[in-house]
Amino acid sequence: MSKKDYYEVLGINRDASDEEIKKAYRKLAMKHHPDRNPDNPKAEERFKEAKEAYETLSDGQKRAAYDQYGHAAFEAGGMGGGAGGAGAQGFDFSDIFGDIFGGGRGGGGRSNMHRGADLRYNMEITLEQAARGTETQIRVPTMAECETCHGSGAKPGTSPVTCTTCGGHGQVRMQQGFFSIQQACPRCHGSGKMITSPCKDCSGSGRIKQHKTLSVKIPAGVDNDDRIRLSGEGEHGVNGGPPGDLYVVIHTKPHAVFQRDHNDLHCEMPISFSTAALGGEIEIPTLDGAARIKIPAETQSGKQFRLRGKGIKGVRSASYGDLHCHVIVETPVNLTERQKELLREFEAINATDSGHHNPRAKAWMDKVKDFFGQ
């Protein structure tokens, strides 16, 4: 058909490797195939040229003859059948999509060997366990090889037989217009075998559902949504495929005292009105026991105090985080008449110069007056 130089048609050098030839052909075939260009005769012509060039250069014998004699090597049946004899109608897309769909021209039962599925297990732990690490056991469901049929799916004493649909190849070819697509056999699902007498325990699947108990080491410093991978502890593979993995996903239970922010801890500590006004010393909890901090006089509600190194050391951290204590001034309740009397007396004295004793309240009122233009 084409008298163009095959190397020029594919856009490759004369010393191109087999992989470079295949890659160049894929690109051109996808671009110029008639099904993708129904109203473009030139695209079909270029597609045929690319196919002819590929069929010649991908064959070691034909390529050697072409390199020595050019197109004359295939004239008058020189190489038996010539290049491009199949034409676009008989085009086999398996050489382009083989790597993607796992098909290829080899076929056979190997395509039905699959790695087992990965599993996920959600584990709840306490903040203390997350900070210090722990070891625990979990019980997880999994698909394991059937012990009765040893994974074959066939009843003991019987064996799978050759699939009558694909003849044992595991794949069938479907023809649609210009396309000839090779796919897994719908009857045997690519194994090339049929089970006429299925195992009663696994119903022919070769796998059964079981539970297994595993020991899991939780490293110190894990945080929410961290994953611990247990290699090979997922579902059992199919037809000899490797097992999947098990991922343990960490979730920390809410703590009664602390809230975690990465490696830092936060807590709220109520203090009395008199301690906030006059100052004092209070005891606060940490993960390692109690600690004491000094409260300076005139401390306002919400003031934050930091204790360095009293947080958590993360899994990937070189140092500990900090503990942030937020003091909250607590309004007294259930007051006695004497307490109420003293507070009224205090309020009366305070009212004579409220701006001096309550600077934040005075500054806020000044902003309100400015807002209303007073």
Considering 221, 252, 283, which residue would you say is the last residue of a domain?
A: 252
Could you tell me if residue 137 is inside a domain?
yes
Q: Write down the pTM of the prediction.
A: 0.54
Instruction: State the DSSP string of 258-281.
Output: -EEETTEEEEEEEE-HHHHHH-EE
Same domain, 230 and 145: yes
Could you tell me if residue 109 is inside a domain?
no
Q: What is the pLDDT of residues 260-314, one digit of tens each?
A: 999 999 999 999 888 888 999 999 999 988 899 999 998 888 899 999 999 999 9
Q: What is the pLDDT of residues 222-265, one digit of tens each?
A: 999 999 999 988 887 766 678 889 999 999 999 999 999 999 99
Distance CA 339, CA 346 (A): 10
As given in the structure block, the two tokens for residue 209 are 């559902």
Same domain, 203 and 296: no
Three-state DSSP state, 125: strand
Q: So what's the pLDDT on residue 77?
A: 46
Could you tell me if residue 291 is inside a domain?
yes
Same domain, 181 and 244: yes
Same domain, 84 and 145: no
Same domain, 248 and 263: no
Same domain, 279 and 356: no
Same domain, 132 and 193: yes
Same domain, 185 and 247: yes
Could you tell me if residue 141 is inside a domain?
yes
Could you tell me if residue 96 is inside a domain?
no
Q: Which domain holds residue 13?
A: 6-91
Is the CB of residue 304 less than 8 Å from the CB of residue 264? no
Could you tell me if residue 112 is inside a domain?
no
Number of compact structural domains in the chain? 4
CATH of the domain at 14: 1.10.287.110
Could you tell me if residue 233 is inside a domain?
yes
Is the CB of residue 21 less than 8 Å from the CB of residue 54? yes
Same domain, 245 and 341: no
